[in-house]
Amino acid sequence: MAENHVNLKDSVGAIEEMESKMESLWLKRKEEIETELEVRIRSEKEEAAKKIEAIERELEKGRTVLKDYRTVVGEFETERAGLQRQIKEHFEKAVENQTEIERIAGQTMEELRLVNDLNKKLETLNHSAEEKVDGFRRELEERFGIEAQLPPSREEEELKVDLDHELRKLRKIKELLESEASAAEEIVAEATVPGEIAIPPVPPVAEVVERTLAEEAGEPAAEETPAEEKSTEEENGNFKSLFEVLEGHRKIEARNGNGEISFFRKDEKTILDGEYMVASIDESLEEAKRLYMKLSQTESPKEQFFIKQEIINHQEILRKYILRNLKMCEREGATMPRFTEEILNVDILKEILEKLSIENWSNPADFNSFRSQIETLKDAYYARITPPAHYLRSLLKELGD
């Protein structure tokens, strides 16, 4: 058998050729890897650039929102300062007007004093004249048999002044002043912000009129009350007593910015305060109406957007308020007052809640529809509880008092 001899020279060449091919393949693979890496890096850079650009856009939006916020806060402070200034100006005018009323009331009493003096003189004159006329009439009858009858003087009748009537009118003025002064004090208590506006007290005009009336009439200031007025006073006193008893059972639950829940509780019995509920709904509507008025006077789209958002916020607060009242009825055993249940009951509350959940107050049609429904309900409710004594007695009876 012939032996195969290996050609070393050819083998070395083959090895070198294989090495050359391997090196070429390695270089090619290296280039491919480097190319892929460059493509990946470029792609990631582009992606990173897009993300950075998006972040910068968001940051710019944030700057715009902050700028708008500063603008809104500045406008709010300006408007607030203007309203406080107007409050002070109008209150000062009210004080001036009451001072003028004091002055006029004093002049009126002086004029009435003169009227009283002149009335007395007139009575003296009439008495003297009547005595003289009676003497002439008797002389004519005795001497000539003539019966003389003088007609009453029209001028005299026209000049007579009913001083008591004028005093009663002044007492009515006094009562009006007292009620106005009380209302003014309440307005001041609500309008005054501690440390910002110092509002002077209301002059006691009613006290001046009362004192003067007492001096003029020669009696204590409180005059005898007619039967009808006594009945009204007794009814008011009864109402006050009932109200005070009922207030002893009132509870208030704060709702973290969603309105306060008012109800009456005695032992295990809980009755929601329907009147407070109607007033709260009406207050939310009034706030929305005020915002709609402001919206109609605003041309800036940005400002209109913020106002509409505020309107929707009032709607949401009212929705949560109604929902809490319903939960108290359905889960906690509370009830609506029987006296008004044909007007305001759980079914009506559910209907109101549904409208608040579905409709959008920033849409004028939705808002006006809801407002019309509530105004009808409010009118019917207050007509039902007026006069309030029957309503209060019913609530106390339900509570077991």
| SS3 sequence of 267-281 | CCEEEECHHHHHHHH
Has residue 202 got a pLDDT over 90? no
Q: How far apart are CA 179 and CA 148, in angstroms?
A: 56
Residue 292: in which H helix or E strand, if any? helix 274-296
CB contact at 8 A, 83 and 137: no
Q: What would the two tokens of residue 215 be? A: 């001096």
Q: Enumerate residues 6+ apart whose C-beta is below 8 A from 387.
A: 235, 239
Q: How far apart are CA 259 and CA 280, in angstroms?
A: 8
Highest-confidence segment of 132-136, 220-224, 227-231, 302-306? 302-306
Q: How far apart are CA 277 and CA 368, in angstroms?
A: 20
Q: What is the dihedral of CA 288, 289, 290, 294, to 10 degrees?
A: 100
Looking at residues 349-378, what average pLDDT do you find? 93
Has residue 3 got a pLDDT over 70? no
CB contact at 8 A, 377 and 278: yes
pLDDT score, position 96: 74
Q: How far apart are CA 231 and CA 213, in angstroms?
A: 24
For 296-333, the pLDDT digits (tens) are 998 888 898 999 999 999 999 999 999 999 999 999 99
Confidence of residue 168 (pLDDT cuts 50, 70, 90): low
Confidence of residue 195 (pLDDT cuts 50, 70, 90): very low
Closest CA to 199 of 212, 186, 210, 208: 186
pLDDT score, position 147: 58
Q: How far apart are CA 219 and CA 115, in angstroms?
A: 18
pLDDT score, position 224: 45
Strands 269-272 and 261-266: antiparallel
In this predicted model, which residue has the larger pLDDT, 238 or 88? 88
Strand, helix or coil for residue 156: helix
CB contact at 8 A, 325 and 272: yes
Has residue 397 got a pLDDT over 80? yes
Q: How far apart are CA 344 and CA 337, in angstroms?
A: 8
Has residue 140 got a pLDDT over 50? yes
Strand partners, 261: 253
Task: Compute φ and ψ for 261, nearest 5 degrees.
Answer: -95, 125
Looking at residues 210-229, what average pLDDT do you find? 49
pLDDT score, position 180: 54
Highest-confidence segment of 79-83, 230-234, 297-301? 297-301
